[in-house]
Amino acid sequence: MAKNLNSRERVATVLLCKEPDRVPIEYFANPGIDARLKAHFKLEQDDDEGLRMALKVDFRSINAPYVGPKKHADIPERGVMVDEWGIHRKWIEHSSGGYWDYVDFPLQHATEEEVAEWPLPHPDEYDYDGIKEQCRLFGDFAIGLGNAGFADIMNSSGMLRTMEQTYVDLALDEPAGLLLAKRKTDIQLEWMGRILEKAKGRIDFLWIGEDMGSQTSPLISMETYRKHLKPIHQKFIDLGKAYKIPVMIHTCGSSSWVYDELIEMGISAVDTLQPEAANMAPAYLKKRFGGRLAFQGCISTAGPEAYGSVEETIEYCRRTMEIMMPGGGYSFAPTHVLQDNSPTENVVAMYEAAIKYGKY
């Protein structure tokens, strides 16, 4: 057990499946609860760093923003925003907040030729000049590169082709869908490689994603995973290996069916870990994969944190850490992002519990 580590050392220790001084802490949230937390801590609404400091978050991320031309027009009369990939999003309000949800799906019926001609960003159209300064500003925090949408096919392609068509693409080897996946991930891979060069050893891990399961079962077969997704994921894992840094993968739903495969490929950590899903309970994961995989998540956004009392939230977090912490390899985080129906006081209590009960 290590003592008095900084954030970067703490996360590095956990990614090696060892015990740090306390569990590292991560934060993901939707806009509504994020705004309420900033108000609770008397922060300005744009003070993301101040909130992370208040919650004692150990992780930071860097980015090379897109600065190229507008490739796809927005549709203001419908409130639709379109990004450089051509993904259409519209703000959808609900009883406790809202989401930028996906609409239109412009490549749903596209042919292989149409996908080949679809405007996508070029790696040259991103601004890499600020990478060194971002790394400097984050000091001794653990810096991750990427997010759950990197190397991800089923969600990301679904934003352009619909989820249904994306699954058909994978099942039937549909050339249009497979080409879209290749074009997107090739760009992401080059983007990551250029940032890694600029960062000169300061990035601590790569973060990729692929939702592997529903609440009750795998979303695809192992055969399909090995045929279509594994070769793409392996490229990103190999990029991490080339720079001697670990790779973490985001896996929503019942995903543990593929974890042995991921371990063989070189994945160091898995993120999200929804405990309600089949074969995803903390005790099962720890017993089955502990020491071979590091874990990030397990704090359900559909449990006491969202629907219970402060006391129930604290006890739930304490019990989860009691299971996941022994032997190391655990980072405290919500399963996916904190939802807008989360009571502010429960989220504050959740992060206070991480500090109180997360010490070794």
Provide CB contacts within 8 A for 251, sequence distance 6+: 209, 210, 211, 212, 213, 258, 270, 271, 272, 273
Whether the predicted pLDDT of 234 surpasses 90: yes
Closest CA to 125 of 68, 198, 190: 68
Q: Report whether 191 contacts 184 (CB < 8 A).
A: no
Reported as a single tens digit per residue, the pLDDT across 31-87 is: 999 999 999 999 999 999 999 999 999 999 999 999 999 999 999 999 999 999 999
Structure token digits, residue 34? 């994020």
Structure token digits, residue 167? 């699954």
Reported as a single tens digit per residue, the pLDDT across 89-99 is: 999 998 888 98
19 Cα distance to chain centroid: 23
Percentage of the residues of the chain whose pLDDT score is greater than 90: 97
Structure token digits, residue 232? 């793409």
One-character DSSP codes across 54-87? HHT--EEE----B-S---S--BGGGTEEE-TT--
Query: In this predicted structure, what is the pLDDT of residue 162?
Result: 98
Q: Report whether 8 contacts 316 (CB < 8 A).
A: no
Give the SS3 label for residue 130: coil
> Which helix (H) or strand (E) covers residue 184, if one does?
helix 175-199
- What CA–CA distance (Å, rounded) separates 268 from 237? 9
| C-alpha distance from residue 257 to each of 267, 280, 344 (Å) | 14, 10, 35
Residue with tokens 């519209």: 90
- What CA–CA distance (Å, rounded) separates 220 from 173? 13
Helix, strand, coil percentages in the chain from 3-state DSSP, rounded to 5: 45, 15, 40
Give the SS3 label for residue 198: helix
Give the SS3 label for residue 94: strand
Whether the predicted pLDDT of 1 surpasses 70: no
Q: Report whether 30 contacts 340 (CB < 8 A).
A: yes
Average pLDDT over residues 269-290: 97
| C-alpha distance from residue 213 to each of 134, 181, 273, 282 (Å) | 35, 19, 11, 16
Reported as a single tens digit per residue, the pLDDT across 144-167 is: 999 999 999 999 999 999 999 999
Domains of the chain are 7-65+108-357 (3.20.20.210)
Residue with tokens 């074009």: 183
One-character DSSP codes across 253-276? SS-GGGHHHHHHHT--EEEE--TT
- What CA–CA distance (Å, rounded) separates 337 from 147? 13
Give the CA angle between residues 209, 347, 93 to the nearest 5°: 70
Q: What is the pTM of this model?
A: 0.96
Residue 3 — very low, low, confident or very high, per pLDDT cuts 50/70/90? Answer: confident
